[in-house]
Amino acid sequence: MNYLELLPLSSITKYKKGKPGEGIPIKGFARAHPSDKTKLILVKDPLGKEPTVIEFNLDDILHVEEIPSAVTETGEGVPLVKLWVQKGAVAVKLEPFEVK
């Protein structure tokens, strides 16, 4: 997750008035994709035991809301957002697993 911390938050239109009618809310830690400027990476539950990385096309993101930050055990803040993603959008979900 170190490379995600170094990337700037993608500039997406922020939503300020109610819920977008065609969107589904998804919360997490968002960053620009490291190699594709048309995509965004969201880490759901970034401080949990099983964080999930989801890759979205920017065109499928309707709006972004800032929500209260999560705080690590060392007191560092992790900025969280609520993405409103277009219903029916296709995303890529990456899940960590141990190879045995």
Tell which residue, 17, 63, 16, 67, has the closest CA to residue 40. Answer: 63
Is residue 23 included in any domain, yes or no? yes
CA atoms within 13 A on the CB side of 12: 29
Is residue 42 included in any domain, yes or no? yes
Count of the separate structural domains present in the chain:
1
Q: For residue 25, what are the domain limits? A: 2-94
Q: How far apart are CA 50 and CA 42, in angstroms?
A: 14
| pLDDT value, residue 6 | 44
Asked if 60 contacts 43 with a C-beta cutoff of 8 angstroms, the reply is no
Instruction: Convert the pLDDT of each residue in 44-96 to its tens digit.
Output: 988 778 888 999 998 888 888 888 877 777 877 788 888 889 889 999 998 77
Higher pLDDT, 19 or 31: 31
Is residue 75 included in any domain, yes or no? yes
Is residue 99 included in any domain, yes or no? no
- Determine the longest span between alpha carbons in the chain, in angstroms: 48
22-32 average pLDDT score: 88
Is residue 78 included in any domain, yes or no? yes
